[in-house]
Amino acid sequence: MNTLIFRTVAPFLTALMVLFSLFVLLRGHNEPGGGFIGGLIAVSALAIFGIANGIAAVRKALWFHPMAISAFGLFIACLAGLLSMVFAVPFMTGLWVYPVILGVEIPLSTVMLFDAGVYLVVVGAITSIALALEAGDDL
Amino acid sequence: MTPDTMGLTFLAFCLPFLGALVAPALTRLLGHNAAWPLALIPLAVFLHFLGFNAEVARGEIVTGGYAWVPSYNVSFSWLIDGLSLAFLLLISGIGTLIVLYAGGYLKGHRHQGRFFSFILMFMGSMLGLVASDSFLMLFVFWELTSITSFLLIGFDHAREASRRAALQALIVTGGGGLFLLAGLLLLWNVTDVTQLSLLMSFGAEVRASPFYLPLLFLILGGAFTKSAQFPFHFWLPNAMEAPTPVSAYLHSATMVKAGVYLLMRLNPVMGGTPAWETILPAFGGLTLLVGAVLAIRQTDLKLMLAYTTVASLGLLVMLTGFGSEYAVAAAALYLVAHSLFKGALFMVAGLIDHETGTRDITKLGGLRGAMPVTFLAALLAALSMAGLPPFFGFLAKEEIYVALAGGSLRAIAFTAAAVIGNGLMFAVAFAVALKPFLGKRVETPKHPHEGPALLWIGPMLLAVKGLVIGIFSAVAHALLTSPLASAIAGKPQTVTISAIPHVGAALLLSALTVAFGIVIFLVLDKARAAANRLVEDIGWGPDRGFDQVMRGLVRAAVSVNRLTQPGRMEVYMTATFAVVALALLVPPAVYGEWPRAPVWPANIPFHELAVMLLAVLGIGAVLAANNRLTAIVALGIQGFCVALLFLLFGAPDLAFTQFMIETLSVVILALAMTRLKLTPRDHRSLREKIPDAVIAIACGLGFALYLLRVTQGRFDTALTDFFNLYSKTIAHGANVVNVIIVDFRGTDTLGEIAVVMVTGLAILSIIRIRKGGKAGGEA
């Protein structure tokens, strides 16, 4: 599969898919999408990149160890839940703020933070499995 | 209780744990002198609780606390009456001295900071245990004492004997804790209260309940294991593997008294029944005799004291269950007296060991010149333990005999047990306090000299306290023992006994005890030999029984493991799917809940039919594939078709996820297959394929029937309506599926993503193991 065309197209495809996955993540609250699906799309993107350009390239592009990304996701998901404790409401109660930036009201919430955590957990965990399997003995 | 006192009391319960946090750092900074600032913690706790003395002496009960989980009626609440207060003062008071003593005893030890930390944690657990009002808190602290004592007993973890002793103590006392939990739950069920202070008015209900006997056994299961009653006594002497400060603390005033505390606490509720007044004195009396005889047998100072502790605990249980006012008063007196003299004597034993290098009584002698202060402390404590006037121990013993003496057969039997037990303990007390100090000087591994102040302050103070309380008994009774006895009895009691001997049956029995004790002391070597012969003739003991039970348990676990975990993937897969098939097919067969035959819809659109046909073709391709990779990809066809169906029936979220999952599972399965170095083709013969096919078809059929049945049932739209109604208004999201995942059921999702991550970690480590455990490098 390592054709020249595939190798050349793969990075662009990956970039587009990752962008799309973020889009899916963010629209998830009102349209079909969300952290799980977004995460899976991002993993597919990375898988394509890996098949085309090799494991080392993916690792370099990720910068962090995928498991660390996953753990960070779990961390911010917990944080999103715990934030509600500060405001003396039960664990995992959604909190919303509506800052107005450049005249546009942007709803932000702990729920979104939580979904981002889900996204990162899925991306990290599945990527690390895929990479470990794809890698040869040079683990 | 004012809010201020409440906060301070709460702080007093937390303080030892906070101290445990800073202890290691402080010890690194100050060395063994960290004992001085650390001892301020139990001292502060002691002084705080001393402040309640006036209220409690007036007969008031101090309660307080905070709601913890209000929805389950669980609170962090405490109950301070005469019983709790006596324990709180003993624990914190002796604890102060123990911290100082440990400072001297473990001076220069590599892990002294860790030791301080453990002992403070233990202290905190113990304080919480005796002051708990709510059942749950009582249980939590009960198990905490088991866990922290495990750490303390196994402190010297490099030695196997100490690891074994620690584990044994944990298994026996922690296992007993489970009995206690069951007992407390049963109590809750019977009375519908979860607080000890409320429980007190439910005594009649509890005693009349049909569950009284099981309840009693469960509570006794907890109390007897903790308080080392025969036949669970073996863990206590083994726990002597711990450094001496631990023994002095755990086995004088704290850990082992927890069981006695529980019995005393429940005496007003559960006591007074024939079962209570038979089982408790019987086991207590037996423990007293067994402990005393085994104590005579030992030559190790600490072991001698350990077995007398077993005997004393037996005596306390016997008195608690004996069922008369005097018995309760005697138990109260003996409880306090024992804590003081036993704490002192254990510290003396440690001091001798520390300064001479041995604690074998046959290798010690003539230390009075070299260690005069130690000698004095030992003597004072031994006089109290022997029960001679005017020491506190004498008061306790007099009261015991007043309580027990009587004309009935039961009274005579228990009086005899008490006289023999006390007489033997008398002999042991003086053996410990006199033999090492008097007589000819014997060469010891280390050259003996008086220990540092840190080491003798503790035993000296405790021993002197035994004398002072004995002399000023009226004050002590008013402040300490009368409220204590009242709390045990559940009604006001006044303890009046004083150090001035009164002529009567009790004094006569005391004299008899002393005479018997002196005789045994004089022929101690012969008595030891006799006790040794007796034990050897019996041969088997609970200690060996414990080992046998543990070995049996391990063996059973190994054989079960071999049976269920053969390590062959085929067996696991077959078993899993066979069970799935059975779970799906057996219940409808048993209950006759088969679905009705579905009616084939008249006009299925062409595109839906095509998708279904494609899925079936995919399955066919899987079966026909002559190559594993082809089969995996063909399975993907079927998956995509199902995703397409989801999309057609209006579930875009589900369809998207299904698409991604199918893609990734094809990629990952293909990667895993190449890793596994399998033969490219299926190697099974037809005979192996048929059972596999049967299981597969049964699973598929089961799921199909199950889904049919479910969709034929009436669909309850309560949840759907709820989510549709509130998704936008409460959670500000239009996508109901996503709102459920991240908001309404967010905690579930949190658990799920944690599972995803842990699974990832597990798979990663399996892959690493397969690569020959090559560490390092990027993974």
pLDDT for B670: 82
pLDDT for B260: 92
Cβ count within 10 A of residue B71: 6
Which residues on adjacent β-strands are paired with residue B565?
A: none
Q: Which residues of B touch A121 (CB under 8 A)?
A: 753, 756-757
Cβ count within 10 A of residue B676: 10
- Residue of chain B whose Cα is closest to the Cα of A135: B779
Residue A70 to chain B, least CA–CA distance (Å): 6
Query: What is the mean pLDDT of the segment spanning B288-304?
Result: 89
Question: Do the interacting molecules here have an ipTM over 0.85?
Answer: yes
- How far is the C-alpha of B356 from the C-alpha of A123, rounded, in Å? 65
Q: Give the best residue of B726, B738, B745 to mutate against chain A (max A CB count within 10 A).
A: B738
Residue B449 to chain A, least CA–CA distance (Å): 59
Q: Least CB-CB distance to B757: which of A74, A91, A134?
A: A74
Start-end of H helices in B227-271? 235-238, 244-250, 257-270
Residue B31 has pLDDT above 70, yes or no: yes
- Listed by number, the residues of chain B in 736-765 with a beta carbon closer than 8 Å to a beta carbon of chain A are 737-739, 741-743, 746-747, 749-750, 753-754, 756-757, 759-761, 763-764
Residue B63 has pLDDT above 90, yes or no: no
Residue A14 has pLDDT above 50, yes or no: yes
What angle do helix axes B505-522 and B524-538 make, rounded to 10 degrees? 90
Q: Which residues of B touch A71 (CB under 8 A)?
A: 757
**Which residue, B117, B140, B118, is CA-closest to B128?**
B140
Query: What is the mean pLDDT of the segment spanning B420-431?
Result: 90
Task: Check A29 against B738: CB less than 8 A apart.
Answer: yes
Tens of pLDDT, residue by residue over B518-528, are 888 888 888 88
Angle at B18 between CA B175 and CA B458, to 5 degrees: 80
Residue B776 has pLDDT above 70, yes or no: no
Name the token pair of A19: 């962008």
What is the SS3 assignment for B69?
strand
Q: Which residues of B touch A138 (CB under 8 A)?
A: 777
**Which residue, B731, B748, B757, B753, is CA-closest to A110?**
B731
How does residue A2 score in pLDDT terms, banded at 50, 70 and 90? low
Task: Check A32 against B757: CB less than 8 A apart.
Answer: no
Tens of pLDDT, residue by residue over B184-231, are 999 998 888 888 888 888 888 889 889 999 999 999 999 999 998 888
Question: What 3 state SS string does B466-514 have?
Answer: HHHHHHCHHHHHHHHHHHHHHHHHCCCCCCCCCCCCCCCHHHHHHHHHH
What is the SS3 assignment for B597?
coil
**Which residue, B606, B662, B675, is CA-closest to B634?**
B662
Virtual CA dihedral for B225, B228, B231, B237, nearest 10 degrees?
130
Task: Check B741 against A36: CB less than 8 A apart.
Answer: yes
Q: Which residues of A touch B675 (CB under 8 A)?
A: 133
Residue B271 has pLDDT above 50, yes or no: yes
Angle at B353 between CA B347 and CA B359, to 5 degrees: 105
pLDDT for B772: 62
Name the token pair of B371: 């260690």
How does residue B477 score in pLDDT terms, banded at 50, 70 and 90? confident
How does residue B1 score in pLDDT terms, banded at 50, 70 and 90? low
What is the SS3 assignment for B678?
coil
How far apart, in Å, do the first and last CA atoms of chain B sit?
Answer: 60
Any CB–CB contact under 8 A between B616 and chain A? no
Average pLDDT of every residue of chain A:
86
Amino acid identity, position B749: T
pLDDT for A136: 58
Average pLDDT of every residue of chain B:
87
Query: What is the mean pLDDT of the segment spanning B362-374?
Result: 84
Look up tokens 């000023």; give the residue.
B472
Angle at B405 between CA B403 and CA B410, to 5 degrees: 100
Residue B410 has pLDDT above 70, yes or no: yes
pLDDT for B386: 87
% helix, strand, coil for chain A, step of 5? 70, 5, 25
Task: Check A81 against B746: CB less than 8 A apart.
Answer: yes
Task: Check A125 against B747: CB less than 8 A apart.
Answer: no
Cα dihedral A118, A123, A124, A129 sign: positive
Q: Least CB-CB distance to B741: which of A31, A34, A129?
A: A34
Q: Which residues of B touch A81 (CB under 8 A)?
A: 746-747, 750
- How far is the C-alpha of B421 from the C-alpha of B424, rounded, in Å? 5
Any CB–CB contact under 8 A between B649 and chain A? no
Task: Check A132 against B742: CB less than 8 A apart.
Answer: no
Name the token pair of A77: 């998901």
The answer for residues whose C-beta is within 8 angstroms of residue A62's C-beta and 6 or more apart is: A46, A69, A127
- How far is the C-alpha of B246 from the C-alpha of B728, rounded, in Å? 61
Q: Give the best residue of B629, B632, B739, B742 to mutate against chain A (max A CB count within 10 A).
A: B742
Name the token pair of B309: 């502790």
- How far is the C-alpha of B444 from the C-alpha of B426, rounded, in Å? 26
Residue A70 has pLDDT above 70, yes or no: yes
Question: DSSP of A67-86, one letter per residue?
Answer: HHHHHHHHHHHHHHHHHHHH
Q: Least CB-CB distance to A121: which of B668, B732, B756?
A: B756
The backbone region for B364, taken as left when phi is positive above 0, alpha when psi lies in -120 to 50, beta otherwise, is beta
**Which residue, B681, B487, B708, is CA-closest to B584?**
B708
DSSP type of residue B33:
G
Which residues on adjacent β-strands are paired with residue B360?
A: B300
B688-691 contact pairs (CB < 8 A, 24+): B691/B574
Q: Which residues of B touch A32 (CB under 8 A)?
A: 652-653, 656, 735, 737
- How far is the C-alpha of B51 from the C-alpha of B42, rounded, in Å? 14
Task: Check A128 against B764: CB less than 8 A apart.
Answer: yes
Which residues on adjacent β-strands are paired with residue B65?
A: B77
Look up tokens 């009604």; give the residue.
B491
Any CB–CB contact under 8 A between B652 and chain A? yes
What is the SS3 assignment for B396?
helix
**Which residue, B494, B485, B492, B464, is CA-closest to B383?**
B464
Q: Least CB-CB distance to A70: which of B657, B743, B760?
A: B760
Cis amide prior to B390 (ω within 30 degrees) = yes
Name the token pair of B696: 């597969």
Longest dimension (CA), chain B: 112
Spatial contact of B105 and B150, defined as CB atoms under 8 Å apart: no
Query: What is the mean pLDDT of the segment spanning A117-134?
Result: 90
Name the token pair of A75: 């961390």
Residue B3 to chain A, least CA–CA distance (Å): 22
Q: What percent of chain B stands above pLDDT 90? A: 28
Q: What percent of chain B stands above pLDDT 70? A: 98
Virtual CA dihedral for B56, B61, B66, B68, nearest 10 degrees?
120
Environment class of B360 (CB within 10 Å of its CB; exposed 0-12, middle 13-18, buried 19+): middle
Angle at B468 between CA B463 and CA B470, to 5 degrees: 100
Query: What is the mean pLDDT of the segment spanning B41-45?
Result: 93
- Domain locations in chain A as residue ranges: 4-134
- Residue of chain B whose Cα is closest to the Cα of A66: B779
Query: What is the mean pLDDT of the segment spanning B272-276?
Result: 88
Please state the φ and ψ torsions of residue A88, each to the nearest 5 degrees: 55, 35
Please state the φ and ψ torsions of residue B156, each to the nearest 5 degrees: -85, 65
The backbone region for B516, taken as left when phi is positive above 0, alpha when psi lies in -120 to 50, beta otherwise, is alpha
Any CB–CB contact under 8 A between B691 and chain A? no
Spatial contact of B273 and B220, defined as CB atoms under 8 Å apart: no
Task: Check B749 against A118: CB less than 8 A apart.
Answer: yes
Residue B775 has pLDDT above 60, yes or no: no
Residue A35 has pLDDT above 90, yes or no: no
- Domain locations in chain B as residue ranges: 296-301+311-522, 611-679
Least confident interval from B55-59, B148-152, B349-353, B445-449: B445-449
